[in-house]
Structure 1
Amino acid sequence: MNSARPLRWGLIGASNIAARWVLPQIRGGGDSVEFVYSSTGAWASEYAAANGIAHSTDDFGRACEWPDVNAVFISGVNERHAPQTIAMAAAGKHVLCEKPMALTVADAREMIDAAERHGVVLAINHHLPGADTLRTIRGLVSSGSLGTPLALRLSFTIMISERPPAWRLHDPVGGGAILDLTTHSMSVTQAILGTTATEATAIAVRQGPWATPGDGGPPDSVMAALRFGDIPVQTHDAYTVEHCPTTVEVIGTEACVIAAGVLAQEPAGTLWRVVGSEMTEIEVPDRRDLYEIVLEGFRSAIDGTGRPTVDGTDGLSALAGALAVAESAKTGRTVTVADID
């Protein structure tokens, strides 16, 4: 495994998340970005100039073979994540891939196999499990401070902008709240409970102002009931909610924890431990940028001194849970996660 530091990066996808969140943390950690790839050459050139990147290309083959680059961040449209990751792994590049890692479980497995076969690190850019708010909740659960966990409720509800590109709202293949938000909800729940979803029952609708009857767009709101081992989990993931904070609640036999405003790109939110009618706020000291934490874990995995916040196996489990939710919403039946491929 090539663990040369500092890392020299390529951006695969000229995305907003790369420019706003990931690029500053790449550079903040002492690494450099050598090029950006987009399938649209003019946009790649404009993006490179706007973000101080020396080179741009619309030739994916050239991007794979870019000299001296040893890591890439893949953040284009969702259907390209798997083939681009597999190609970059074959070229010997460590891969940080935006979520969802793929559109099928089979493709996600191929990504993991490719990384293992070529001796590179594969990490998935699920930033939320690294937040100290959620790590604190995980600690309360694992330490037994809440007693035996009885249930978890999670609400990842936001109001999304329809600014271009609007593919998340209109693309029936790679868009929609399930691939975007439910995958996050799965990764958070997995991290807190230390287990993965086994079955899902869900209802999904299309209710935003951008929706018209019969437009064929993906669901923008979904509610699901899932089983994580013996623990029931309820999730609400939506693009259509403007006036309700994101929340995570874990209910135990001895106490519960309520977290508000914690499902965000910023290190935000407040935690309370509740016993009866008494609520006590829990201090959360680590308010580092969540993408700093993601990049720190990615680098430590390359160095062989740690692991990613979310690795390929974790990302696959989050994807499988979300796809089970999608299948249940589509068919109206309870879906076993192990049957999803």
Structure 2
Amino acid sequence: MEQVGVGVIGTGYIATGAHAPAITAVPGARLVAALSRTESTAREFLGTFDASGARAYDDLSAFLTDPDLDLVIVTSPDALHAPQAEACLRAGKHVLVEKPMALGLGEARTLVDLAAHGKLVLAVGYHLRCHAGHEALRERVLGGEIGTVRHLRLAWSYPFEDTNWRARSDLATWWALSATGTHCLDLARWLADDADDWARFSALIGNSRWRAPRDETAVIAAELASGPTVEVLSSVQFPEYTRVEIFGDHGSSICAGTFGPDGGGEIVLNGRPLDYTPVNPFVVQLSRLVQTIAGQAEPAADGAAGLLGVRDLLQAAA
């Protein structure tokens, strides 16, 4: 199979620290273009990854006419995700959009419909599904090794500064929820193999540190349609912390430090370490997407998962 030409929209932390390195690590992908607010920033980004022949843009329309562009990874601020992803799909490009896929249900449904109509791949960046340890654990849990799943508890705190763009009303609607909470909610669904709407859902939102007009800490209590209850804590108020706990009627599992981009961390299943080989989840995510474009796989998280993620965020902030 020929290499898939990949373009990146946005040249911030997630693009520089995760997606671009993944492109260079996947044999079936090639970095061909970057779009940033200025052409010089895009050029600097491409130079960091020695993307020979790749082109820098500061205009979306020009970017989408690049003859080598097949797949676009959207890593811009949340408010730009839907309009930029829509433009890419209308231009006939496959899309991997960072979460949240959109700020509203109408925008999210438009993306799903456009992808289906154009027979294009639409994937959403829930990379925690691509962690080798999470995948191994999910297989064991769904295989009954802890019995019937009764409860899941997930927490992710990351100490963003108060200057983070997610706290700006012109760029985002949520803060902790869109940065970390949506990952936890999606992971809970995926680990329990339940893609339906919540049976029950309630949220407590706090913004007591910076008094930003956004969620700085969110605590969610919910129940999946299949029965398990779920607790989620997401925050930008205290030091980095990640943890997943799964309780069944015959056992339990704990994941500590497994949310990082290196794909590592410790997983214990029924009191014993779970062996797995760490792999960068962003590399796995892109590899599967390349295979999906070739008709050989399914994306780790598709547009339907992204749509559920948007619904979650809207419920939490209601």
Compute the TM-score of the two structures, normalised by the length of structure 2: 0.91
Within the alignment, does 1:268 sit opposite 2:264 as a pair?
Answer: yes
Q: Distance in 2 between matches of 1:256 and 1:159?
A: 29
Q: Distance in 2 between matches of 1:222 and 1:12?
A: 29
Alignment of 1:198-217 (within 5 A): 198=198, 199-208=200-209, 211-212=210-211, 216-217=212-213
Q: Aligned partner of 2:245: which letter?
A: E
Of 284, 302, 311, the residue aligned with 2:302 is: 311
Per-residue deviation, 1:42: 4.2
Compute the TM-score of the two structures, normalised by the length of structure 1: 0.85
Conserved? CA contact 2:33–2:69, under 8 Å:
no
Conserved? CA contact 2:77–2:166, under 8 Å:
no
Deviations 1:236-273 (A, max 9, x none): 01112217x31111111111111111222221221222
Between stretches 81-90 and 39-48, larger displacement belongs to 39-48
Q: Distance in 2 between matches of 1:207 and 1:315?
A: 29
Q: Aligned partner of 1:304: which letter?
A: G
Name 1:94's counterpart in structure 2. Answer: 94
Within the alignment, does 1:22 sit opposite 2:19 as a pair?
Answer: yes
Q: Distance in 1 between matches of 2:278 and 2:44?
A: 33
Between stretches 43-52 and 179-188, larger displacement belongs to 43-52
Q: Distance in 2 between matches of 1:66 and 1:270?
A: 43
Per-residue deviation, 1:202: 0.8
Q: Distance in 2 between matches of 1:119 and 1:326?
A: 33
Q: Distance in 2 between matches of 1:25 and 1:43?
A: 20
Deviations 1:208-250 (A, max 9, x none): 4xx14xxx4311110010111111101101112217x311111
Per-residue deviation, 1:175: 4.4
Q: How many residues align?
A: 311
Name 1:160's counterpart in structure 2. Answer: 160
Name 1:33's counterpart in structure 2. Answer: 31
Name 2:2's counterpart in structure 1. Answer: 5
SS at match of 2:229: strand
Q: Distance in 2 between matches of 1:63 and 1:177?
A: 31
Deviations 1:319-339 (A, max 9, x none): 212321222xxxxxxxxxxxx
Q: Distance in 2 between matches of 1:26 and 1:263?
A: 20
Conserved? CA contact 2:182–2:312, under 8 Å:
yes
Name 1:331's counterpart in structure 2. Answer: none
Per-residue deviation, 1:55: 2.0
Within the alignment, does 1:185 sit opposite 2:178 as a pair?
Answer: no
Conserved? CA contact 2:11–2:75, under 8 Å:
yes
The share of aligned pairs that are identical, in percent, is 25
Deviations 1:21-47 (A, max 9, x none): 111221222322222112334433443
Unmatched runs of 5 consecutive residues or more in structure 1: 328-341
Of 278, 286, 297, the residue aligned with 2:288 is: 297
